[in-house]
Amino acid sequence: MRGSKGPLLWIFSDPEALSRAAATLFARRARQAIRRSGRFAVALSGGQTPRQAYEWLARSPCRDAVEWDRVHVFWGDERCVPFEDPRNNARMAFEALLNHVPIPQDQIHPIACADDPKAAAARYERILRDFFGERPARFDLVFLGLGEDGHTASLFPFSPALEEQVRWVVAVEEATPPRVTLTFPLLNQARLVAFLVSGANKAGILREVLRSPPNLRQRPAQGIRPIGGRVLWLVDRAAGSLL
Ligand code: 6PG
């Protein structure tokens, strides 16, 4: 574990241990948030890494430890493909978790952007602004992944989306498929951001992100610095092998 100044780093023996820890973290943060404010606002990550964590969360004991009727689920980003497409992040989360827990459907907010990414981004921003209302726009927990190029959510190196200072959600039309992503202004209001990073193929980029001088255009994940929040890195031994 790193010191209290920088991000906290937890290294686990394997992907299963990482996933169980992520599921336990979700349940613990949910309990704290619901006790504090009566609800738990979480943004899920896409990609493959979080799948096993979501599956652990859908099983006892984690499943039984969460007051699902107080949970509000959003996504950090989405690929602009139909829900049925195996690349769709919401589809993965429904398969692994949301179809198996008693969360009210109107508290689950997928980013539906298969048709018009720009319009979908504006619509999602409206949903978020209506949800947070007069309260601070602070997710209680954001799960994020790390791409081999240093991207996180759909904030890719040298993308115009990295420069966004006002909007909370933007379309990333230069990607294939196009994407919709939360931006730094919203992500950096989170109380806690937990990166889940697994596999030897992430060892190089993880070392760069954690050890190289900040360069958020080259390594967007370095731009995740929540104001008044914390960053936690949950990595397995393979991903952490160069640290
Ligand atoms: C996405 C994710 C993206 C992902 C990383 C890591 O929609 O692709 O939001 O940021 O977290 O690319 O993906 P893996 O977990 O599949 O390695």
Residue minimizing CA distance to atom 15 of ligand 1: 49
Atom in ligand 1 nearest the alpha carbon of residue 196: 15
Pocket test for ligand 1, best of 44, 49, 75, 187 (most atoms within 8 A of CB): 49
153 close to ligand 1 (CB < 6 Angstrom): yes
Measured in Å, residue 127 CA sits from the centre of ligand 1 at 23
Ligand 1: does its nearest atom lie under 6 Å from the Cβ of 49?
yes
Does ligand 1 have an atom closer than 6 angstroms to the CB of 181? no
Residue 7 pLDDT = 77
Q: How far is the CA of 36 from the centre of ligand 1 (A)?
A: 31
What was the pLDDT predicted at 3? 42
pTM across the whole model: 0.97
* Ligand 1 midpoint to CA 89 (Å): 9
Q: What backbone torsions phi and psi does residue 132 show, to the nearest 5 degrees?
A: -75, -30
Is any atom of ligand 1 closer than 6 Å to the C-beta of 236? no
Hey, which of 87, 146, 155, 183 would you mutate to test ligand 1's pocket, going by the most ligand atoms within 8 Å of its Cβ?
Answer: 146
CA distance 153 to 135: 24
E runs forming strands in 18-126: 40-44, 71-75, 77-79
- CA 160 to each of CA 120, 128, 171, 172, 184: distance values in angstroms, whole numbers, following the listed order: 18, 22, 10, 8, 12
For ligand 1, the distance from its centroid to the CA atom of residue 32, given in whole angstroms, is 27
* Residue with CA at minimum distance from ligand 1 atom 11: 145
Residue 189 CA, chain-centre distance (Å), reads: 13
pLDDT tens sequence for the chain (243 residues)? 444 446 799 999 999 999 999 999 999 999 999 999 999 999 999 999 999 999 999 999 999 999 999 999 999 999 999 999 999 999 999 999 999 999 999 999 999 999 999 999 999 999 999 999 999 999 999 999 999 999 999 999 999 999 999 999 999 999 999 999 999 999 999 999 999 999 999 999 999 999 999 999 999 999 999 999 999 999 999 999 999
47 in ligand 1 pocket by Cβ < 6 Å? yes
Q: Is the peptide bond before 185 cis (omega within 30 degrees of 0)?
A: no
